Structure 1
Amino acid sequence: MRVTNYVHRLPVSTPTLYPATTTNVYIVESEGTAWIIDAGYENPEAAKTILTYITQLAVKKVAGILLTHHHPDHSPGAKALADFYQCPIACHPLEVQPIEEKIAPFKVDFTLQEGDSVQAGDINLTVLHTPGHTHGHLNFWLEEEKVLFSGDNIVAEGTTWIGPPDGDLTAYLASLERLQELQPSLIAPGHGDIIRNPSEKIEFFIQRRLERERQILELLSQNPFRLEQLVDTIYRDQVHPSVIWVAERTILGHLEKLQKEKKVRQKDDRYVLI
């Protein structure tokens, strides 16, 4: 579906995390040239949906596929698209190895760093390195329409999980603060509908993480806790059983941040305040 003059959103079915059921694939097109942002899971029906839509747009050239990160609900679908359009696949250098594992025998054709840009007709997509969800997570900025393609940094429903081995909460909060400074008009998230209250949404994500941190510190001020005790206390009856492992990694990500800040330390199998 068309979102703006240059942007189209295609939610395609993927085995992603609840509450999401689809991953957004974006087509950014101008003057007959298009870039695809993210590619979803390796799903023939999803690929058919994307190919059909691009054909209807009368795109003359698909310049390439830009992957925000390596997770399996975002990257493997690049194989079918790259094969059909004979176009390159690009990502951040830190994502190359895990992406190539998922798109084999295809390879990443070129890498993107902070400040790079790609062009479609008379518009440019600027590359933002926004680590946190993964170390090489990328966002893309369409200055002409002030649209931010946020990958999994910001999603429309729920919140983004940040935890080991990929996640870094300190980096994630810094990335969110930076995205807030852009003052986007729209956020095109990796999952869910277009976000039309960007500033409010980004602030919500920041405050949710800080609120969780305060909860952990408050609990540890009362007693030492094991990781599983913290997860049970904070998330009891709040998350679907299928994603309790996400809650565990999220709490572990917070604990790692607090340990780096020398606010918390691990004593045997428990965490205690310093």
Structure 2
Amino acid sequence: MLSTLRYYSDYLFAVIGYFYGRAFRSAMNTLTPIESRLRLSPLVYRVLGANPGPFTLRGTNTYLVGTGKSRVLIDTGEPNVQQYIDDLREALDGCEISCIICTHWHEDHVGGIKDVINKVIGKPVPVYKFKRTDAPEDSSKYHYVEDGYVIKTEGATLRLLSTPGHTMEHMAVYLEEENTIFSGDCILGEGTTIFEDLYIYMQSLHKLLEMKPSRIYPGHGPVVENPLEKIKEYISHRNQREQQILDVLHSSKTASSMQITNEIYKARVKLAALSNVNHHISKLLKENKIEKIGIDNYRLITAAE
């Protein structure tokens, strides 16, 4: 039974990946151009991961932070990307990397750790990350820390913030001197992100909104110069989708996840949309707004109940 479920799960993700890839190829020309290396502020230098793709957009944004000879690197891109290694060396311009911060476990953020350490730094340095609780990982690579941990380098104070949802151990990084946030994949420079748990993802969005950052440096896409507007846009988008699901259940009394998907996404790739709907259903179940009937049917919980 488990092997069958894994087969269909793998098949589903393969199909979703195919359609994302096809959409990406047609949409690539509409993405905002990202320079391979660019100083964004006196404290922040962005180095593009040189790994464009359907989930990475123009590539993973990695960041060098600080003003002295010693810099902090946020995220590392993917493995075996020599262009990124060359660009990172150029951006350092004789400076050193004292430590690495990884916002989450996805390969396009942690995959380049080995290459950066071996080819750029030349010696072991701490790699700070939050620990996964949902799955095992190679703990020998990381120096695990917790929410609120502070890393200092010349000119910069970085506070690590728990922002789960995109992944369960996802972090954002707050740069105190600028009142800016490195958002990882919690917020992107363009488009919306995917998530493992919508319920806690929404909590993370509200957490960042309450901080009122002046700027967001995202894991992919251009710098967000209107951060409060962007965060509110993300929250509004999810709330609108949730209301559509509630409206379907109100009119139909009961419906399966695929029936809901067919009603909302009339002209979209249904398998990709189904995953999104299931995340919303999971959130609504946790909030006791709907209840599950049988294997895959749902109905509204009324105030009288």
Q: Aligning the two structures, in what range does the TM-score lie when normalised by the shorter sequence? A: 0.7 to 0.9
Separation in structure 1 between the aligned mates of residue 110 and residue 133 of structure 2, nearest angstrom: 10
In the alignment, is residue 75 of structure 1 matched against residue 105 of structure 2?
A: no
Residues 20-64 of structure 1: per-residue CA shift (max 9 Å, x gap):
2411111112211111111112232343244333342x21x2111
Match in the other structure for 2:24: none
Distance 1:42 1:124, change over 3 A: same
Task: After TM superposition, list the pairs within 5 Å mapping 1:102-251 onto structure 2.
Answer: 107-162=140-195, 167-223=196-252, 224-238=254-268, 241=269, 245-251=271-277
Q: Distance in 1 between matches of 2:133 and 2:286?
A: 24
1:138-158, CA deviations, whole angstroms, 9 ceiling, x for partnerless residues? Answer: 000001011100011110111
Cross-structure match for 1:88? 126
Counterpart residue number, 1:51: 88
RMSD of equivalent CA atoms: 2.2
2:136 and 2:173 mapped to 1: Cα distance?
A: 20
Structure 2 residue 299 is the aligned partner of structure 1 residue 272: yes
Q: Please, which of 276, 282, 286 is the counterpart of residue 256 of structure 1?
A: 282
Q: How far is 1:99 from its partner? A: 5.1
Equivalence for 1:103: none
Q: Cα deviations across residues 159-181 of structure 1 (Å, max 9, x unaligned)? A: 1122xxxx222211111111112
User: In structure 2, do the counterparts of structure 1 residues 70 and 82 end up closer, same or farther at CA, with 3 Å as the change threshold?
Assistant: same
CA contact (8 A) 1:13 1:22 kept: yes
1:13 Cα shift? 3.1
Contact 1:15-1:41 within 8 A present in 2 as well: no
Question: Whose Rg is larger?
Answer: 2
AA aligned to 2:251 is: Q
CA contact (8 A) 2:47 2:88 kept: no
In structure 2, distance between residues paired with 1:261 and 1:152? 25
Partner Cα separation in structure 2 for residue 95 and residue 154 of structure 1? 22
Q: Distance in 2 between matches of 1:214 and 1:119?
A: 43
Aligned AA (1:90): Y
What is the letter of the counterpart of residue 258 of structure 1? L
Letter in 2 for 1:273: L
CA distance in 2 between partners of 1:255 and 1:95 (Å): 23
The two structures have a TM-score, normalised by structure 2, of: 0.78
- Residues in 2 aligned to 1:245 and 1:187: alpha-carbon distance in whole angstroms: 32
Question: Is the Cα–Cα contact under 8 Å of residues 89 and 110 in structure 1 kept in the other structure?
Answer: yes
Q: Which has the higher contact order (CA 8 A, sep 6+)?
A: 1
**Aligned partners of 1:28 and 1:34 also within 8 Å:** yes
Shift of 1:266: 2.0
1:6 to 36, 43, 50: 43
Moved more, 138-147 or 108-117: 108-117
> Residues 45 and 91 of structure 2 are in contact (CA less than 8 Å); yes or no, is this contact kept in structure 1?
no
| Number of matched pairs | 259
| 2:124 paired with 1:65 | no
Q: Provide the C-alpha distance between the structure 1 equivalents of 2:89 and 2:271, rounded to a whole number of angstroms.
A: 37
Deviation, structure 1 residue 16: 4.5
* Cα 1:96–1:135 shift into 2, 3 Å: closer
Q: Point out where structure 2 has 5 or more consecutive residues left out of the alignment.
A: 1-37
CA positional deviation for 1:75: 1.4
For normalisation by structure 1, the TM-score amounts to 0.86
